[in-house]
Structure 1
Amino acid sequence: MNAYMTNGTYDFLQKLPAEQPSIDFFFMHDNANTLVYCEGNFKKNVFAAGRSYEAVTASGDLNKSGFVVMNNIPVSDDGKALFEDKFKQRQQMVESEPGFQCFRLLRPKKGNTYIVMTQWASEADFNNWKNSDQFKQAHKEGSDVKPPAYFLERPFLTSYHMIEENE
């Protein structure tokens, strides 16, 4: 399965479903930006200016409501296999958490920045997981001051609230 996303103004992006009615678009926003995400096995990127990924692993269904967290992790070419293996193992640690909706490990088709995406029923559910023993166990080796050797740069988080159709 492939995943695609792009950023832009909500007014511009909200035209996409009418232009491509066969695609299920997911709209989300943070304080300043709107992001549109879709999944499928399309032959090419559905966005003129978007990012393309391959879903290495996926669980759960993305919902039109909830809270999305994307951990953006630049990974070196020689560290990709190890990185993917570690995240495949960690995936199960989050799936049983209250409020969990979906997990995606997205490998970039261009560039080196992977996205580890989770969706939660609410921001409070994510924060509860972030403060849980499960989270601490899953991120145990990430607590070092120095990131693992396969990280090209420091990872960074982006978070979004889903834009529900009636908003």
Structure 2
Amino acid sequence: MFIATNRFKVKHGSETEFERVWRERDTYIAAVPGFVAFDLCRGAEKEDHTLYISHTVWASKADFEAWTKSEAFRLAHRDAGSSSNRVNYIGGPEFEGFESVLSLTPGEKAA
């Protein structure tokens, strides 16, 4: 399993618009091979921003990398930065990728 995240530092007062953009956009991701799940998460409020992460789960790192080179990825990101998607950020998104080394479901114990 591979988990891909992007951190966003959203300036105070832009949180509602940031969430609207994500809620209303077409991600084109649901039918992509290897896609498992997506979450947009709101984190801590700092002095000048609220932290968010987008969090996707993939069957493998190769599936995630194929998504980043796909037409679906291009379509999902084509309006980024457009005037209809203006959000006040501090810096750009910060990507982090993680390969799972241990995964448990309810009732399982680590081996």
TM-score, scaled to structure 2 = 0.76
1:113 to 41, 44, 51: 51
Note if 1:142 corresponds to 2:77.
no
Q: Which residue of structure 2 lines up, in the alignment, with residue 127 of structure 1?
A: 65
Distance (Å, rounded) in 1 between the aligned partners of 2:26 and 2:99: 22
Higher relative contact order (CA 8 A, sep 6+): 2
Contact 2:3 2:55 in 1 (8 A): yes
Contact 2:9 2:51 in 1 (8 A): yes
Q: 1:91 to 1:79 in 2, by over 3 A?
A: same
Deviation at 1:80, TM superposition (A): 1.2
- Are 1:162 and 2:97 matched, yes or no? no
Q: CA RMSD in A?
A: 2.2
Deviations 1:65-99 (A, max 9, x none): x0000100111122211111111233652122110
Structure 2 residue aligned with 1:99: 34
Give the partner amino acid of 1:98: P
What CA distance in whole angstroms lies between the structure 1 residues aligned with 2:25 and 2:63? 18
The 5 Å alignment of 1:80-99 reads: 80-90=15-25, 92-99=27-34
Identify which of 14, 17, 20 aligns with 1:79: 14
Counterpart residue number, 1:11: none
1:118 deviates by 0.1
Structure 1 consecutive aligned stretches of length 4 or more whose deviation exceeds 6 Å: none
Structure 1 residues 92-131: Cα deviation after superposition (integer angstroms, max 9, x where no partner): 5212211011111001143312000000000111011111
> Which residues of structure 2 form unaligned runs of 5+?
103-109
TM-score (structure 1 length as normaliser): 0.53
